[in-house]
Amino acid sequence: MSNRIVTVLFLLLVCALRSPAAIIGTNTPAPSLTADRIAALPAKTRSIWQKYLQQSERQRRADQEFLQTEMRKYGIKEAIVPSVGRWTRRLSLNESTAFYRQPEARRIADIVVSFQTPAGGWSKNMDFTQHPRAPGEAFAPNNSSRFLGQADYDAPHDTNWNYVGTFDNNASTTQLRYLGKVITAVGTKTGAVYRASFLRGIDYILAAQYPNGGWPQVWPLQGGYHDAITYNDNAMVNVLNLLFDVAAGTNDYSFVPLRTRTLAAASMKRGIDCILATQIIENGRRTAWCQQHDPLTLEPESARNYEMPSLCASESDDVMMFLMRLPHPDNRVVEAVEAAAAWFEKTQVNDVAFRRDGENGRRVVPSPGNGPVWARYYQIGTDRPIFGDRDKTIHDDVNEISLERRNGYSWYNSGPAQALEQYAVWSKSHPPK
């Protein structure tokens, strides 16, 4: 564990002992992946990371130059901003095969293809019901936070180039899954354009993968917490689940060529290695995962002002469920799942609910018989629930944070219960080794 994390944990523990409910610390920003940081790596690993960063920088410039050239060609002074759509509007993945043959489904697929970045990915919060991308139209909508404060960790380095190619909010993986369904429905000949776009998207995923097997939230890299290995909103798990299906080459992915399937399988294996390497160890025992991990040190990292280094129940359950999906898990995977299940059993909370309490907004209130539920974040070393606020303060009582953050974030959830239910079945055929 890095000296910085140890120092932060020590200060949090000292503060926590002073009061049963208090501000117990201040969140600090996550570092970007930079040339200077890579230069400090051991010689045997430095070269591959330098090549990765250089490729990211080249691709970012190429993406930007593509749009600028297009704008000059059509005499456009300011890029058109596309419509915002919550998550990925109208990209339904649960319809019948007949649905994806319909003209409307193919019209939306055409829009999806048109907004694919030169790098091969997609932005988030896109509305795919309007029209194909027009010349000079940006590849991303306005994804800036409405609550930016001074020195906010969520402030983009470039307001005109934000989340252009990302795995956040199910982006890129959802577009690829939608295209896969349309290709399967219409056939590879009719769906040739969609197939080409799909394969470019898989190449994008492969290019974005870090040398240690993780994925950043945004690629080409954007800096700040976006460079971290990202489990938040299941970004990395969504990628791995897609690669699992592509590698299998069944159902919606039978059209994928063997070479791509082989590359997907190898990429997935490296991703699994990263999951195992980032599982947090407390007192010699494996536990769960943070929302973000530093790409070089693999240490837990912060993200937005109110998202601190911690054990994160709401993302760790999906990591655990992905590992249980593997058909032939080795000893390392079995041990990781066993440890995560034990940690979920240990940290469950009962007889409380997080719900609206009149004018006080959402609060934790007594609720006999309710549960189990889990806090989103737990303090590393104590497994004590912790909560962040927009002013970067860290609290040990969710009822003490601002009304806006209490109402606007999922501080408690019951998601791990599903993982434990699945584990009860999985463990019978995968006993500890």
Kindly report which listed range (142-156, 207-221, 391-405) carries the lowest average pLDDT score.
142-156
- 186's CB contacts (< 8 A; 6+ apart) are 100, 101, 106, 194
Please say if the pLDDT value at position 122 is more than 90: yes
d(CA 187, CA 193): 11
Please say if the pLDDT value at position 8 is more than 50: no
Bridge-based pairing state of the strands 362-366 and 352-356: antiparallel
Task: Give mean pLDDT, residues 72-99.
Answer: 89
Assess contact for 178 and 156: CB atoms under 8 A. Answer: no
d(CA 163, CA 222): 8
Assess contact for 376 and 414: CB atoms under 8 A. Answer: no
pTM for the predicted model, two decimal places: 0.93
Please say if the pLDDT value at position 3 is more than 60: no
Task: Give mean pLDDT, residues 1-5.
Answer: 53
Longest dimension (CA), the chain: 69
Task: Give mean pLDDT, residues 112-124.
Answer: 98
* pLDDT tens per residue, range 275-311: 999 999 999 999 999 999 999 999 999 999 999 999 9
Please say if the pLDDT value at position 17 is more than 80: no
Mean pLDDT of the chain: 93
- Per-residue model confidence (pLDDT) at position 89: 66
- Per-residue model confidence (pLDDT) at position 5: 52
Residue type for position 81: V
Three-state secondary structure call for residue 156? coil
- Per-residue model confidence (pLDDT) at position 223: 97
Angle at 136 between CA 134 and CA 142, to 5 degrees: 90
Residue type for position 398: V
d(CA 174, CA 373): 28
Question: Would you tell me how many other CB atoms lie within 10 Å of the CB of residue 279?
Answer: 23
- 246's CB contacts (< 8 A; 6+ apart) are 202, 253, 256, 260, 261, 264
Residues tagged active-site: 169, 304
- Per-residue model confidence (pLDDT) at position 1: 54
d(CA 63, CA 119): 7
Domains of the chain: 14-21+279-433 (1.50.10.20), 31-278 (1.50.10.20)
Assess contact for 126 and 82: CB atoms under 8 A. Answer: yes
Q: Please name which of 162, 408, 415 lies closest in space to residue 306, comparing C-alpha atoms.
A: 408
Please say if the pLDDT value at position 4 is more than 70: no
Assess contact for 351 and 366: CB atoms under 8 A. Answer: yes
- Per-residue model confidence (pLDDT) at position 150: 82
